Amino acid sequence: MVLVATSCATFTEADSVATIGSTTINQETFDRLLAEYLERGDVFGTLPAIDGEVPGGEARRLLSALVQVAATNEVLDQAGQSVTEADRATVDNELPPEHPWRTLSPEFLNVILDLQQSVRGAALSRVDPPSPATVESLYRVSPESTGVVCLRHILVDTESEADEIVELLEAGADFAELAAERSTEPIAVTSGGALVGNGSRCLPVAQINQTFDPLFVAGAYAAPAAGWSDPVESSFGWHVIMHRPFDEIGDDVIAIHSSSDSGGFLVDGLLASGGVEIDPRYGTWDPVSSGIVPIG
């Protein structure tokens, strides 16, 4: 089968279609699953390949799901864990004999089961939280790799105003004080531009992906670990964004990773922090939508 992709895609002869940390999805496995995915339109609502050509959207949807599974497996493997049949049984045992999933190959059924939150959560709950030193190391290199972000931002109306904010910061202005003085966000007067979560000075990556303007989130992920972003335009105006220093909010990040939810945060962080590489035939990984988008 031949993938129908955008004209801007670059084609390669790579053996793997995606790399997630040290985990790879090889071409043979993907081709096999993609063939079943397309043939089983009665289960997935997909259309069959026409004259051997596969629409890029179908391939991207499947590969995005496989990346999600691989990211979970990567975090589990690093912790010496894996998804077990007992984990899968929590969902599998509830499926009636006539359920459409039962007509799929065991390989594809396991993919579907591993995508279920209860299966994923059961496995990841066995991941021991990283040490405070490890959390600090992750945050100082790539804050979003911890699965949370701890941000301040300054919102203004125009790009020229945002450029001026950057110049003032480069000249030594304090970010929080400048936010209180110049940001058009009403609460910045008291918050110093800080975006906080429920009882924490940090927000989960999954939450900002789902609830914040995608352009703002992309700008936050692109911001350096220390310092501030270039001007970022969103539907609200122009932002300058910074990750709060670990010395300021480290206790909050460590506290988030002190629970059995730590493994889930590490998976979200891996998907948000540039740990995913996609063969450009299929597109590129978008950390904001946690999916593959066309190139160009």
Alpha-helical segments (H) within 154-196: 159-170, 175-182, 188-191
Count of residues for the chain? Answer: 296
C-alpha 96/C-alpha 159 separation (Å) is: 57
9 versus 14: which is more confidently predicted? 14
Q: What are phi and psi of 239, to 5 degrees?
A: -120, 150
Instruction: Show the tokens assigned to 77.
Output: 């493997």
Banded model confidence at residue 235, pLDDT cuts 50, 70, 90: very high
Closest CA to 61 of 228, 272, 294, 257: 294
Strands (E) in 114-264, as ranges, are 148-149, 151-156, 194-195, 203-204, 232-234, 237-243
Q: What is the pLDDT of residue 13?
A: 53
Q: What is the pLDDT of residue 50?
A: 82
Coil, helix or strand at residue 197: strand
Domains of the chain: 2-129+269-293 (no CATH), 132-258 (3.10.50.40)
Checking if the pLDDT of 2 tops 90, the result is no
Banded model confidence at residue 5, pLDDT cuts 50, 70, 90: very low
Checking if the pLDDT of 9 tops 50, the result is no
Checking if the pLDDT of 269 tops 60, the result is yes
- In angstroms, the Cα distances linking 3 to 44, 52, 59, 60, 283 are 18, 8, 8, 10, 11
In Å, how far from its chain's centre is CA 77? 19
Q: pLDDT (tens digit, 9 = 90+) per residue, 12-44?
A: 456 899 999 999 999 999 999 999 999 999 999
Q: pLDDT (tens digit, 9 = 90+) per residue, 56-65?
A: 899 999 999 9
Q: pLDDT (tens digit, 9 = 90+) per residue, 135-147?
A: 999 999 999 999 9
156-174 average pLDDT score: 98
Residue labelled with tokens 């299966």: 119
Coil, helix or strand at residue 108: helix
Q: What is the pLDDT of residue 274?
A: 87
Q: What is the dihedral of CA 212, 214, 216, 219, to 10 degrees?
A: 140
Enclosing H/E stretch for 18:
strand 16-20
Q: pLDDT (tens digit, 9 = 90+) per residue, 201-231?
A: 999 999 999 999 999 999 999 999 999 999 9
C-alpha 48/C-alpha 202 separation (Å) is: 45
Radius of gyration, alpha carbons of the chain: 21
Closest CA to 68 of 276, 239, 284: 276
Checking if the pLDDT of 6 tops 80, the result is no
For the chain, give the mean pLDDT.
Answer: 94
Q: pLDDT (tens digit, 9 = 90+) per residue, 64-102?
A: 999 999 999 999 999 999 999 999 999 999 999 999 999
Name, in order, each residue with C-beta under 8 angstroms of 259's C-beta and a sequence gap of 6 or more.
Answer: 129
Q: What is the pLDDT of residue 110?
A: 98
HSE of 52, CA atoms in CB hemisphere, 13 A: 2
Checking if the pLDDT of 4 tops 80, the result is no
Banded model confidence at residue 268, pLDDT cuts 50, 70, 90: very high
Checking if the pLDDT of 3 tops 80, the result is no
Q: What are phi and psi of 241, to 5 degrees?
A: -120, 140
Q: What is the dihedral of CA 205, 140, 277, 259, to 10 degrees?
A: -40
